[in-house]
Amino acid sequence: MKIVVLVKEVPDTWGDRRLNLETGLLERGAGELVLDEIGERAIEVALTYAEANSGSEVVVLAMGPASVPTNLRKGLAMGADRAIHILDDALIGADTTLTATTLAAALSHEGFDLVIAGNVSTDGGGAVIPSMVAELLDVPAATGLSTVAITATDVTGRRDTEVGSYTVKAALPAVVSITEALPDARFPSFKGIMAAKKKPLDTLTLADLAATSGASGEDAHSIVISLAERPARAAGVTIVDEGDAGTQLAEFLAKNQLI
């Protein structure tokens, strides 16, 4: 079983996160860049299966800038066998279509039985990449899973929605995305960190993927043409009860069209 885990490098949610208001790009220097936590959970799902099933291979795959290998090494330190980094200047400012096309091309190039992704990233937050990748690869997508059971031939999981839960099953090869309901990821051990230094980490460019990808990076894709910072929060209204607090409150709610 070959499992490829899609992991994204994102700004640490505990740190400072900023967009450059001129370019629309993420200010990558503004804070620490880390593996998205949901990606770490996805690695955990893959490793749990691989440890119980000898002959399995876990590959971590990320598209992103030159800083990505440091974070891919963390996935290797957790226990993944290999890592692949897609790096190309033409991918700077990629939209979701270009991201999905490129990831799908790398997956075709690499080959896989199962792809495990997070359901949503903490920076872009589109929650669309796993479905787009599955569509481009013409394989089933089982998204938003809060449980995952993998066999040699299929993958099954529970999908929780606002109206209820249902169980979905897909024949392999398939793409799944997981939610934060899955267990926390393990911490890399010292032995794992040392071993990770010697594990293969390959870099692919768009030229390497040209045979499997229609994307040159120069194709028409959406770009951010304007953005604005969220306005600062206005001071709240304090109502002091001098016998008419109820009236004041009702007036405030009516004025703000809340009642």
Where along the sequence are the contacts to ligand FAD (CB under 6 A)? 6-8, 24-26, 36, 38-39, 62-64, 93-96, 99, 103, 117-118, 120-121, 123-130, 222-224
Q: What is the nearest approach in angstroms of ligand FAD to the Cβ of residue 104?
A: 11
Q: What is the nearest approach in angstroms of ligand FAD to the Cβ of residue 153?
A: 23
Is the separation of the CB atoms in 129 and 117 below 8 Å? yes
Q: What is the nearest approach in angstroms of ligand FAD to the Cβ of residue 205?
A: 15
Task: Name which of 111 and 246 has its Cβ closer to ligand FAD.
Answer: 111
Q: How far apart are CA 177 and CA 190, in angstroms?
A: 29
Q: What is the nearest approach in angstroms of ligand FAD to the Cβ of residue 87?
A: 11
Helix axes 68-78, 37-52, angle to 10 degrees: 30
Is the separation of the CB atoms in 215 and 106 below 8 Å? no
Task: Name which of 62 and 215 has its Cβ closer to ligand FAD.
Answer: 62
Task: Name which of 27 and 113 has its Cβ closer to ligand FAD.
Answer: 27
Q: How far apart are CA 224 and CA 217, in angstroms?
A: 16
Bridge partners of 2, per DSSP, are 57
Task: Name which of 214 and 246 has its Cβ closer to ligand FAD.
Answer: 214
Nearest CA to 204 out of 127, 57, 91 is that of 91
The pair phi, psi for residue 125, each rounded to 5°, is 65, 25
Q: What is the nearest approach in angstroms of ligand FAD to the Cβ of residue 80?
A: 13
Q: How far apart are CA 27 and CA 258, in angstroms?
A: 37
Q: What is the nearest approach in angstroms of ligand FAD to the Cβ of residue 183?
A: 16
Task: Name which of 20 and 247 has its Cβ closer to ligand FAD.
Answer: 20
The residue at minimum Cβ distance from ligand FAD is 124
Task: Name which of 81 and 88 has its Cβ closer to ligand FAD.
Answer: 88
Q: How far apart are CA 56 and CA 64, in angstroms?
A: 26
What stretches of the chain show up as alpha helix (H) in DSSP?
37-52, 68-78, 96-110, 129-137, 190-196, 245-255
Task: Name which of 130 and 188 has its Cβ closer to ligand FAD.
Answer: 130
Q: What is the nearest approach in angstroms of ligand FAD to the Cβ of residue 9?
A: 7
Angle subtended at Cα 101 by Cα 17 and Cα 65, rounded to the nearest 5 degrees: 40
Helix/strand/coil percentages in the chain, nearest 5? 30, 25, 45
